[in-house]
Chain A
Amino acid sequence: MALDADWAERWVRRTADAIADAKDELTELDRQIGDGDHGENMHRGFRAVVARFDDAAAERGTPDERTVGDVLKLVATTLMSTVGGASGPLYGTAYLRAAKVSGRPQIDPPAVVAVLEAALEGVASRGKATVGEKTMVDAWQAAVDAAEAAARGGGSEVDVLRAAAEAADKAATGTIPMVATKGRASYLGERSAGHEDPGARSTALVLGAAMAAALAGPAPADPRSAA
């Protein structure tokens, strides 16, 4: 089963739910080593994304005309406009670059890897960060590596996304002992060790939602019920 634009929409709706559930946790993580607004900012951004899709669903004609990239582009511009903190342009650029490589109705496992690679490249170039600096790049890089390995081994779309989600989750936990050298947390220096990076955690949530959306398959009737 290739992944299509409806999967992409389920992905972002599930992301919105996951972020809403974890809002307080993300804010608490960010309060420890950042400026304490990551949960609220991401929640506001993804709530706005869902609202846009609800509006678009009302006026959309034939859904099969949509590409995966169309969905991701809408996510990108909405997050950039509504998040308000650094995660807006960072995630926005991730979705924007991902949209550029997914302008097709359906994507297969290698294309899923390409989407994740583009997202990683977007975050890394916009944030000028590399692996090991205790940022969301750590989670994205781990996800891309795992997704590539899964695709090379002949894995399905679900396999690729599962590998990515699990690796991102592990990498987020792996940021705990690290000392931040990029982003707001870097101002804390050594004191940033012992806390999980909120951006790496939210990346794990985003990719977990991608896997869940692929596992769930198409919703029976109203796409909104899949959220």
Chain B
Amino acid sequence: MTARVALVLVSHSAELARGAAELAGQMAPDVLVRGVGGGPDGGLGTSLDAIQKNLAEVLATLADAARADGAGDSGAPVGRAPDGGGVVVLGDLGSSVLTVESALELDESLAERVVLARAPFVEGAVAAAVTAHGGADLDTVLASANASARMFAAIEAAQSPEASGAASAGETGGSRTVTVRNPLGLHARPAALVSRKVAELGAAVTIDGVDASSVLQLMALGATQGRELRVEATGDGAAEAVATVVAMIESGFGEV
């Protein structure tokens, strides 16, 4: 557990919360992801007490981890998240979101460490988890979750004929095609691996026109075995980034 940003996923349904946390956690093993679901009576609904309890526990875990790393002992008060760290919360529907907002209003000291994303529950959780896995700070993880709301429009735009023409006209650090080798293609785990690597590299990389640092956009490509993908990059280290991503895809992600 090294990521400084944790996720709390609040759903009306305990099973939905648990499932979303499992999915997001599998793609970002370094990130603390907690699912909180169900009402006070255990049925569908939202429990303020459960939200407060989980936020407190997650913040305490982050603070402990920061102290253990020696990063959080710069005079920060006990229980406070490390610099740039904190918790991104996602809610699924009406009362989950309202109850999280109420929890933040009841304890104003939470406001600097806990932020509520405005994002689709599953897509936002996955995107935030993968971003947090790379060690990103609270604002960056929040932005990643919120950007997932625009994912569908972004994919449509990237796959339209005009967009692909415009992309190839730009100054690029190279463009290569690569064939997907592993049987399941660019599913959740490989997509997470690629997007995390791209985020590390710093260059702006696209795969078939979509942003390769976005795990969601990669998954939405639906690229299965045998499909040819065009990898392009711009910016610092673009050529190296293209080569790295192509090599990852060619390797079959350890699944061939």
Q: Which residues of A contact B (CB under 8 A)?
A: 41, 44, 77, 80-86, 88-90, 92-93, 96, 126-127, 183-184
Contacts and interface: CB of A to CB of B under 8 A. Distances in A.
Interface of B: 39-41, 43, 45-49, 94-95, 98-99, 101-103, 105-106
A85 B101 contact: no
By Cβ-Cβ distance, the 5 closest A-B pairs, closest first, are A84-B45, A84-B39, A89-B98, A86-B95, A89-B102
A127 B48 CA distance: 17
Given A84-B47, A89-B46, A89-B48, 10 more contacts: A44-B40, A80-B103, A85-B45, A88-B46, A89-B95, A90-B98, A92-B48, A92-B102, A93-B105, A127-B98
A77 B98 contact: no
Determine which residue in A84, A85, A183 has the highest number of CB atoms from chain B within 10 A of its CB, and name it: A84
Given A89-B102, A126-B102, A80 B95 contact: no
Main secondary structure of the interface of A (DSSP, over half): helix
Contacts of A77: 48, 106
Determine which residue in A41, A44, A86, A184 has the highest number of CB atoms from chain B within 10 A of its CB, and name it: A86
29 contacts: A41-B45, A77-B48, A80-B99, A80-B103, A81-B40, A81-B48, A84-B41, A84-B47, A84-B95, A85-B39, A85-B95, A86-B94, A88-B46, A88-B95, A88-B98, A88-B99, A88-B102, A89-B48, A89-B98, A89-B102, A90-B98, A92-B48, A92-B102, A93-B105, A96-B102, A96-B106, A126-B98, A126-B101, A183-B94
Contacts, number: 58
B89 to A, nearest CB: 14
Contacts of A93: 102, 105
A202 B98 CA distance: 19
Main secondary structure of the interface of B (DSSP, over half): helix
Given A93-B105, A96-B105, A81 B47 contact: yes
Determine which residue in A80, A86, A127 has the highest number of CB atoms from chain B within 10 A of its CB, and name it: A80
A90 B105 CA distance: 12
Contacts of A86: 94-95, 98
Nearest to B99: A89
A88 B94 contact: no
B49 A81 contact: yes
Nearest to B95: A86
Contacts of B99: 80, 88-89
Given A84-B47, A89-B102, A96-B105, A44 B41 contact: yes
Contacts of B41: 44, 84
A80 to B, nearest CB: 4
A213 B201 CA distance: 67
A80 B99 CA distance: 7
A127 B101 CA distance: 10
A20 B32 CA distance: 42
A62 B48 CA distance: 30
A89 B48 CA distance: 9
Nearest to A126: B98
A41 B103 CA distance: 19
B34 to A, nearest CB: 19
A96 B45 CA distance: 21
A84 B98 contact: no
B64 to A, nearest CB: 27
A83 B49 CA distance: 11
Given A84-B40, A85-B45, A184 B106 contact: no
B94 A184 contact: yes
B39 A89 contact: no
B232 to A, nearest CB: 41
Given A44-B41, A89-B98, A89-B99, A84 B46 contact: yes
A174 to B, nearest CB: 24
Contacts of B106: 77, 80, 96
A84 B37 CA distance: 11
Contacts of B45: 41, 84-85
Contacts of A96: 102, 105-106
A86 B98 CA distance: 7
A93 B101 CA distance: 10
Contacts of A82: 40
A81 B40 CA distance: 7
Nearest to A48: B40
A37 B231 CA distance: 52
